[in-house]
Chain A
Amino acid sequence: MLKLDALTYHHTNGQSQIYEFSMHSKTGQITGITGQSGSGKSTLLDLIAGFLLPHSGSLTWNDKDLTPLPPEARPVTILFQNDNLFDHLSAEKNIAIGINTSLRLSAGETKKVRQALNDTGLEGFGARRAGSLSGGEQQRVALARALVRDTPVLLLDEPFSALDGETRATMLDLVGEIAVKYHRTVLMVTHDERDCSAIADQHFTLSNGKLHRV
């Protein structure tokens, strides 16, 4: 279980703002978080992913304290709205880098990459350069990499908001399937409440620096 208990962060850039996050999410559960621009959605994900350090409170995964761990050591994969891929590498290599950053894979690991391509509907796209893929295909590659990384928590920072309606719905369905099939705990921040109602098991809104259950 991912647990945030009075996780506090004091934003000092520009306007001063204090955030205090408390919530928990069970294994395999999808949590949707909505809020207006600047409400602190990305700050919340940055704290969980390890890009920001909290000033107080606790952040645990299955009772293990995550706060002293650097981003690469946390059981977390994050997907951004843009820039999830290295454009000059192929889709397959972008996925493989989630297993081994030097891109030297064993036969078993290569098979795992192919499986992830299949699971995300990218059969035949492995050799394509990431920069030549459409927005939706790029996000599928990023999702496939999240699968091969085997991290139990998947953080989605509005990754589908730049996609058209149909592609967005397909991607949300895919996230739902992955959460069930791979037992991922998913935290999805979005400014569109329809995304939450489509797949989320629980829904919070963020306002005045705090999470409120809907």
Chain B
Amino acid sequence: MSSFSPLRRFGISFWPGLAVGAALLCLAGTIFAQIVILPQTTTVSAALDAQIWSILRFTLFQAALSTLLSIGLGTALAWSLFHQRRFPGRGALISLLSSTLVLPTLVAVLGLVTVFGRNGWLNDLAEALSGHSFGAFLYGLTGILVAHVYFNASFAVRGLLHRLEAIPAEKFKLARSLGLTPWQRFKLVEWPALKGTLPSMASTIFLLCFTSFAIVLTLGGSPKYNTLEVAIYEAVKFDFDLLRALKLALAQLAVCAFLVVVASGLRASSSAIAQARTPSIWGEPFGARCAQLGITGFCAIAFLAPLAAVLIDGLQADFTKLFAEATFRRALFTSLVLASASSVFTIAIALALGFARRNLSVPGRIPASWWTPVVSRVLAFSGTLYLAIPSLVLGLGFFLIARQFAGPLNFWAVIALLCANVLMALPFSLAILVPAMEKTALRFDKLCFSMGIRGIARWRLAEWPFLRADLGYVAALAFCFSLGDLGVIALFGNQDFATLPWLLYQKMGSYRTHDAAGIALILLALTITVFALVPRVFAGGRDAET
């Protein structure tokens, strides 16, 4: 029982995390019970009908194709950006590509429609130049793929570029001195570095596309292109066919759980640290340079044009009229309050889980015992529940709970939204915070233990100065995720309880394009401001290095 002595020592940083992990698992269990066990078990366990199979097949197909295209384009762009270090605006482009993670989905969709839609810029240009237009290609499978690639190729670029930058400079010198062609260099130097990270990145993108909701809802265009999430939404919202929604949710849960188990085995290779390097003085061969500049230029235009469209269209909106609408003011207030609350809860839960997890992972803290791997898995799984239980399924679970218990639907809507938003931000937050927390423990444990520094004093001296920048990033991330989410709110939204993305979707649906453009611009401005400002406020101008 010797391991219980350190447990007492670290109890204050262990039990809250364990309690939070257990609470999250209880929440998942309750949702699971609502969907699978409680309602009409025999009917739900019956075989899935052909229509659901067809939706499942399409969901898997579009997710696989989106993943393939996103990884392909992301790799090409990361490779091009890596070799074209003097590309004008390269740094700004990389920062913007990184920000797609928090870009509200509907804002990007609106921008894509303005640029690539039936009456969009691209068709106007094609008409002017050749008298022909590309038509309404941005709906159905093409639209879904374009939007998924827009988000996920950008997401992939950041990680892949990071891997390329971690290749030792000596490898490139070696390739240059041996006279390798760009293709040989890619095969021998760059691909071996990239391939370690591709399976885990592809599995994440596949999961994101598999559970994609807002994009399919707005660009799918027909029930033929429905994914499971959209089919759940339509079953609840339009047909009020709860049995069908339950069957769909069950299929969604089963596939997601399987994918999460598979994805958890595809860990990215060990962390990569960017190497300092000076650009090659000899440059790239002409053909490779043309390809790199072409890819970078094309992607920069394709990525920036929708954002520019949101800005240009948004500035033409009548903001006085918009702010005069009570529904808009309520939606803005609700969005800001929910986003702030999500941010606070995410930080609190991530810290609790992070402190508990590092007690098990940092040597010299709690020694390995029969129960430590179990607790470690429970803590890890509770932080990634969102991947196994997508927001629409979570929303459906709360919808069923709301039907059973008394109380206004809006109360359950707030709880459902907060849970969904926190769970969505948690995997990213833990991925950022836990390594930093482990580093502070490794660095300061011996010093703090020997001097008896613990509790608030330890937090003030040896945690906060080193975590504040990451905490700021996590706060901004959770805020922006919540601000832009159109998931659970699609089930619960109404005239009395609305968020900005829900209102934007309503305006888009009723062709009030000026109002929609104005709301999109406000969402974009809020997201950029928070993402740029909050991490700086937390960092406070001081950047302690762990």
Contacts and interface: CB of A to CB of B under 8 A. Distances in A.
Interface of A: 13, 46, 49-53, 70-74, 76-78, 80, 82-84, 86-89, 97-98, 101-102
Nearest to B184: A101
Nearest to A149: B178
Contact of A80 (B173, B188, B281): B173
Q: From DSSP, what is the main secondary structure of chain B's interface residues?
A: helix
Contacts of A82: 168, 170
A87 B192 CA distance: 9
B278 interface: yes
B189 A86 contact: yes
Contacts of A70: 176, 282
A159 B281 CA distance: 24
A103 to B, nearest CB: 9
A72 B192 CA distance: 22
Q: From DSSP, what is the main secondary structure of chain A's interface residues?
A: loop
B177 A78 contact: yes
B189 A72 contact: no
Contacts of B281: 51-53
Contacts, number: 56
Given A71-B176, A72-B178, A83 B282 contact: no
A49 B178 contact: no
B183 to A, nearest CB: 10
Contact of A78 (B168, B173, B180, B181): B173
Nearest to A131: B192
B178 A84 contact: no
Nearest to A53: B281
B177 A76 contact: yes
Nearest to A157: B170
Interface string B141-174: 0000000000000000000000000001011011
A49 B173 contact: yes
13 contacts: A46-B173, A49-B177, A50-B282, A53-B281, A70-B282, A74-B177, A80-B170, A80-B173, A82-B170, A84-B170, A84-B174, A86-B192, A101-B180
Contact of B177 (A77, A87, A89): A77
A72 B179 contact: yes
Of listed B178, B184, B278, residue having the most chain A CB within 10 A: B178
A102 B173 CA distance: 18
A83 B277 CA distance: 15
Contacts of B278: 13, 52
A88 B192 CA distance: 8
